[in-house]
Structure 1
Amino acid sequence: MDKYQLAPHESLDLHEAINLKTLCVAKSKLMQGLVLDQDLRELMEKDVQQSMLDLAELQQIYKHAPFEAPVPQSRPTPIIDDKEGNVH
């Protein structure tokens, strides 16, 4: 049994934060394909990696929600997967 459980309004707020963070990750991954500056692209990739860690932490907290709503495990796939920055 959980030591604590989120209140319904906390669960809703957390759900919204997870949705927003997921959309931000998807947008950052997509925008990397349009960025020509390598430094900016690397900064965006660091943001994506940190956001993924943040999402994992938020999902652990979300397990304490008082209702059952599965969080999808699929993540957007990067459109750039080589060092030259070729877009697929």
Structure 2
Amino acid sequence: MPVSTSTVRTTNGSKYLQQLCKHWSHKFAVEFDPGHGRIPFNDPVELTLKAGETTLVLTLTALEQGQLERYEAVVADHLKRFAFREELDITWNS
């Protein structure tokens, strides 16, 4: 199963984690607290999030590489919208 990870430098990791999880909670069975989150998308693709003091670690798992690439873009786009006050470097590593 393909996996992709991004470690995003930010002091607002917990805030963004919670915003992403709340945003998708109306469509998916999301689980989260201030430090950890899990979003099981339908395809099946899953995003896990872990907030630290200076980072937000995003991990995507998918059945196929094409799904992974699609969700990398979707997650990055949403995160950048929530973090419009800061310039985030979201680099995915497969």
TM-score, normalising length: structure 2: 0.32
Which one scores higher on RCO, CA 8 angstroms, separation ≥ 6? Answer: 1
TM-score normalized by structure 1?
Answer: 0.34
Structure possessing the higher radius of gyration over alpha carbons: 1
User: Which protein is richer in strand relative to its size?
Assistant: 2
